[in-house]
Amino acid sequence: MNIGILEDNPAILDYMTIALEMAGHRVQTFTSSTPLIDRLLANSEIHDPLPYDLIVVDLLLPGSISGFEAMSRQLFPMSPFSANPSR
C-alpha cells in the first residue's frame, strides 16, 4: 500500500514511518501541508489515480495551512464534509 503521512512531530513521524515500512508499505512523509497538496494535485486530471491508497494527517498541524484545512478546504472544497476538530 502507498501511504502518505503529514506530521510535524519528528518522533511521531519516524515511529509511524518505521512501523508502516516494517509492515511492507511504501511511505512518503511530509512535515507541512503545502508539499502534500502539491503532490496530490500534480496529476489533476479527473481520471488520474491519487498517488496514495491512504493519507494519515495531523489535523492540528501548525502553520499557514493546518492538516484539517488542507483536507477539507484545499483538497475537497466541494465536499459536504464540514467537521470541526475543536468541537
Residue 66 grid cell: 493546518
Can you say whether the dihedral through the CA atoms of 67, 76, 40, 56 is positive or negative? Answer: positive
Domain of residue 43 covers: 2-75
pTM assigned to the model: 0.76
Beta carbons of 36 and 3 less than 8 angstroms apart: no
Task: Report DSSP state, residue 50.
Answer: P
pLDDT along the chain (87 residues), means of 10: 94 97 97 87 68 88 79 59 48
* Number of compact structural domains in the chain: 1
Does any domain span residue 21? yes
Does any domain span residue 86? no
Residue 63's CATH number = 3.40.50.2300
pLDDT at 59: 83
Residue 4 grid cell: 502518505
pLDDT at 69: 80
Does any domain span residue 84? no
Strands 54-57 and 26-30 turn out to be unpaired
